Structure 1
């Protein structure tokens, strides 16, 4: 009986990698699979016939795998998090008063000195 050996990259300062997925995409896939399991259970307990439930869950699972691998290839380890963070930045900052700047008492260079 042949056994499969899956290597998990645990190098220092390197992301965890499993079957090509890196970093947070492993967690996204795991959460998605648990959600699909719960959806299958809910549909089955609701009385939806098995020939309807099974193809629906298999198609959703295939979409989950394809989508997760696509995000992994497109954005890499931190790219998706950077994109989501960039979307939260405001387009512009408006100040109607100079009081914010007038209340500053120390110049910025004085903070760089070592004590």
Structure 2
């Protein structure tokens, strides 16, 4: 019998590009088409020069995506971005929050349970 849902839970893949990198490369191709419209239509650049610039930028962007996909894996780019957004250090300029924690009162029943185990 054939398995119906054999692709569920796997990332989208096309020629080695998986997940986020596939969507990123599609965005690069679409933006290169917009670049072609801009170079040829608005600026009146030579057709061959505009085509060369667009194809070079599209191939370079896709090559970069393939390199990132091989280096970081499926969700590695998201993990890399998350580590970049973390603070290097947490600086505390006042001890007041910790003093308030120390001054909280505990119930006597929890103290008995804690001392009974000693």
- Relative to the length of structure 1, the TM-score reads 0.76
Structure with bigger RCO (C-alpha 8 Å, 6+ apart): 2
The alpha carbon displacement at 1:106 in A equals 9.2
- Relative to the length of structure 2, the TM-score reads 0.74
1:91 match: 88
Aligned residues, how many?
A: 98
Q: Which runs of 5+ in 1 are unaligned?
A: 1-9, 108-115
2:19 match: 23
* Larger deviation, residues 81-90 vs 96-105: 96-105
2:40 match: 44
RMSD of aligned residue pairs (Cα, Å): 2.0
Q: Which has the larger radius of gyration?
A: 2
Q: Which runs of 5+ in 2 are unaligned?
A: 1-5, 107-118
Q: Distance in 1 between the 2:56 and 2:63 partners?
A: 10
2:97 match: 100
Q: Distance in 2 between the 1:68 and 1:77 partners?
A: 11
